[in-house]
Amino acid sequence: MPQLSVVGGKKESASDRLAARIAAEEDRGLLRFLTCGSVDDGKSTLIGRLLYDSALVLEDQLLSMERDSKRPNATQGGEIDLSLLVDGLQAEREQGITIDVAYRYFSTPRRKFIVADTPGHVQYTRNMATGASNCDFGVLLVDARQGVLTQTRRHACILSLLGIRKVAVAVNKMDLIDFDQARFEAIAEEFAEFARPLGFELITSIPCSALRGDNVTSPSPHMHWYHGPTLLAHLETVDVSHRVTNAPFRFPVQWVNRPHLDFRGYAGTVASGSIKTGDEVVIHPSGKHVHVARIVTADGDLERAEEGDAVTLTFAEEVDASRGDVIAAAMPETAPSVSDQIAAKVIWFDEEAMLPGRAYTIKCGSQATTATISALKYKLNVDSLDHVAGKTLELNEVGLCNISLARPLVFDPYGDNAETGSFILIDRFTNATVAAGMIEFGLRRATNVQWQELFIDKSARATLKGQKPCVLWFTRLSGSGKSTIANTLEKRLHALGRHTYMLDGDNVRHGLNKDLGFTDADRVENIRRVAEAARLFVDAGLIVMVSFISPFRSERRMARELVGEGEFIEIFVDTPLEVCEARDPKGLYRKARAGLIRNFTGIDSSYEPPEQAELALSTSNTSPEPWSRCWSTSSGVATSSSQNLQALGRAGMAFPGGIFVPGGGDGGVGVDAVDAGMIQHFPVIGEGELVGGLGVTLFRQACEQTPCRGELTFAEQHLGALV
């Protein structure tokens, strides 16, 4: 039974002791470090050893470690396995490897430590980077038997990229090579040679045995030839004081605090430098100059706030700042950069490779916008540190990229300020964090970005043509009927006196895009060019039909964002694969099945159906007018066939505006489909509510241009009305 007792002399009270401890802590300083290196080099064992020898392991933790060390799959054959103190996940204990970072907090009389024990396995490199990103110091382990491996070099590169300037190389498992001095020196020499271009300020090599405890917390009795510090002694004394002492003031606005009309404060954490009340500051990117009125905290107003303080600022002047703005010192020479094109080192974390041209969400401080990798300048060979040419970055690869942004970003180079110079990239569909980046510099200053002023603009051209320009983007598998529908539609529009243009996948690949193949990267570039071409035609005032497989949602979204609101109409030609394959008008499916064509969408390359197309057409009932069976928009659907409804339900499309079920067709079937549970999340609306219920802005805009003609069939009416 736990029986706790109070320690210490009688005279001194508990609160005196506490006050003394707090005072001692103030002088002690903090070191954040990580252990890294190749898999199985002994990182977790080393941390376990540090904690164990510093008597920081509690009794119940010790018991559970001893119990687990004896389990059948234990790696140390019944001997106590210190890595179990940090490898806290079930899967880690079963496989004997580290999967994700473990954080441990401990202190010695000289220093306080936060250690991140990171995984060595190449598959989990992103977790190593996670652990390293907030550290000031790295302990890189090398297994004395194996020497410096590719993964050792990769981790060294990442440490250097993240700005860690000092490392210790712990040459571990010396017990297994008879504490051989020559071998230790050879490894230390090899690493120093390799790491020279990485620019570490200090590399300290320490021979040790994590398992036996040699040179971890106490000097080894087996290596009298070594006169350097033990690992712990080094950790306690190494100087990692901050690089920049009087950095310029940076304050990313995190949240606007507006509890009532008389208070408007800007909450955030000072990223660097300091600020006093009365100081003049600049709000970027707007460039407005204001003065700090108050530095508000719950413990009373401050005179001054400095790096790391979480405060709320108010200004003397009326201003409108918001989340994402960066408040900086009002000295032009130290102003942050503002640019919509940047060059950055990127570490790729995702199984799916980086695709130039694809749009990602970028998050930099409290700013978020859309980013596209415009070029991969080079990638890094982690073994030789050579720069090699490449088109994409695969999992764990590092490269220098040019990135263009939908909105200008306020930043500093990472080397000057890690808080305002770092970012992550997020996949816009899976929401995975796919990369981390460190900004090198801006490629052009946003203030210099000026569009050539044009006197005749889009609306002038459109007015002359008497139409509203737009892109009708047809997407789906080969053979789904995209081109047929687009062609028929174009004929009809032409007959109505509309000015149109058609961009067809096959045709464009014969010209503009004849240099592109069918890899994912080339497909993305293919769509990017077509989207840009479509944008030009819309600008020219035309109704543009684009008929491309365009299998990925992110590229279609990119195309959508190139044109104005309401100018992009995504048309999902929802023909099932079996039907396309049965039709096989160009014999391509047969070839793909025979393995003659690779990367064929639907066969060995995926198609991502739209989540919210403006229009979904079903052509599976062989009808002379293919679209006549079904009509839907992002806010509603109308159909005359239950199969169509079911297909839409299966495609996972949402129609918050409701389903319209007209009379005729197989009548009432929409209701059956709803009853059958195929479609749950949208209400059925009646015929009379069609226009209002669908509520599509497109519909209204379209009606202004093209009078609905009563003699057209139901679907033609609306498709015609769309344009």
Partner 1 sequence: MKHRLSSYLRQLEAESIHIMREVVAEFRNPVMLYSIGKDSAVMLHLAMKAFYPAKPPFPLLHVDTTWKFREMIAFRDREAQRLGVDLMVHTNEQGKREGMSPITHGSALYTDVMKTEALKQAFAAHGFDAAFGGARRDEEKSRAKERVFSFRNAAHNWDPKRQRPELWHLANTKVKPGESMRVFPLSNWTELDVWTYIYLENIPVVPLYFADKRPVVERGGTLIMVDDERLPLDPGETPEMAKVRFRTLGCYPLTGAIRSDATTVPEIIDELIASRHSERQGRVIDHDQTGSMEKKKQEGYF
Site string for ligand GTP, 70-109 (x = CB under 6 A): -----xx----x-x-------------xx-----------
Give the DSSP H/E element, type plus range, for residue 659: strand 659-660
CA distance linking residue 426 with residue 393, whole number of Å: 15
Site string for Mg ion, 17-56 (x = CB under 5 A): --------------------------xx------------
Among 31, 42, 166, 476, binds ligand GTP (CB under 6 A): 42
Nearest distance in Å: CB 95, Mg ion: 11
CA 704 to chain centre: 42
CA distance linking residue 119 with residue 39, whole number of Å: 7
**89 contact, one of Mg ion, partner 1, ligand GTP, none, CB 5-8 Å limit per kind:** partner 1
Which C-beta is closer to partner 1: that of 349 or that of 631? 349
CA distance linking residue 479 with residue 18, whole number of Å: 77
Which C-beta is closer to partner 1: that of 106 or that of 518? 106
Which C-beta is closer to partner 1: that of 1 or that of 594? 1
CA 132 to chain centre: 18
Active site residues: 550
CB 365 within 8 A of CB 252: yes
Q: Scanning residues 79 to 98, which ones bind Mg ion (CB under 5 A)?
A: 98
Nearest distance in Å: CB 200, ligand GTP: 21
Nearest distance in Å: CB 280, partner 1: 25
Query: For 267, phi and psi rounded to 5 degrees?
Result: -90, 140
**211 contact, one of partner 1, Mg ion, ligand GTP, none, CB 5-8 Å limit per kind:** ligand GTP
Nearest distance in Å: CB 31, partner 1: 12
Which C-beta is closer to partner 1: that of 133 or that of 369? 133
- Angle (nearest 5°) at CA 504 between 487 and 356: 150
**155 contact, one of ligand GTP, Mg ion, partner 1, none, CB 5-8 Å limit per kind:** none
State yes or no: residue 172 binds Mg ion (CB under 5 A). Answer: no
**621 contact, one of partner 1, ligand GTP, Mg ion, none, CB 5-8 Å limit per kind:** none
CA distance linking residue 228 with residue 236, whole number of Å: 14
Question: Could you give the C-alpha distances from 76 to 84, 100, 211, in angstroms and in order?
Answer: 11, 21, 10
Which C-beta is closer to partner 1: that of 95 or that of 181? 95
State yes or no: residue 133 binds ligand GTP (CB under 6 A). Answer: no
CB 206 within 8 A of CB 138: no
Sheet holding 250-252, edge to edge: 250-252, 326-329, 280-284, 288-296, 310-315, 265-269, 255-257
| Nearest one of 400, 437, 421 to 337, comparing CA atoms | 421
Nearest distance in Å: CB 80, Mg ion: 16
Contacts of 625 (CB under 8 A, 6+ apart): 488, 713, 715, 716
| Nearest one of 198, 34, 254 to 130, comparing CA atoms | 34
CB 45 within 8 A of CB 84: no
State yes or no: residue 43 binds ligand GTP (CB under 6 A). Answer: yes
Among 28, 32, 39, 443, binds ligand GTP (CB under 6 A): 39
| Nearest one of 102, 107, 96, 94 to 36, comparing CA atoms | 102
Q: Which residues of 543-571 are buried (b: 16+ CB within 10 A; e: fewer)?
A: bbbbbbbbbbbbbbbbbbebbeeebbbbb
Among 65, 119, 194, 265, binds ligand GTP (CB under 6 A): 119
CA distance linking residue 442 with residue 324, whole number of Å: 18
Give the 3-state secondary structure of residue 672. helix
Q: Scanning residues 164 to 203, which ones bind ligand GTP (CB under 6 A)?
A: 172-173, 175-176
Which C-beta is closer to partner 1: that of 11 or that of 514? 11
Nearest distance in Å: CB 44, Mg ion: 3
| DSSP letter assigned to residue 262 | T
CA distance linking residue 314 with residue 293, whole number of Å: 5
Which C-beta is closer to partner 1: that of 342 or that of 426? 426
Which C-beta is closer to Mg ion: that of 98 or that of 547? 98
Which C-beta is closer to ligand GTP: that of 209 or that of 339? 209
Piece of the chain touching ligand GTP by CB under 6 A; list 106-114, 116-124, 286-294, 403-411: 116-124
Nearest distance in Å: CB 298, partner 1: 4
Give the DSSP H/E element, type plus range, for residue 400: strand 398-411
Nearest distance in Å: CB 623, partner 1: 35
Give the 3-state secondary structure of residue 341. strand
Among 34, 167, 206, 211, binds ligand GTP (CB under 6 A): 211
Nearest distance in Å: CB 113, ligand GTP: 18
Cis bond upstream, residue 707 (ω within 30): no
Applying CB under 5 A, which residues contact Mg ion? 43-44, 98
Applying CB under 6 A, which residues contact ligand GTP? 39-45, 75-76, 81, 83, 97-98, 119-121, 172-173, 175-176, 209-211
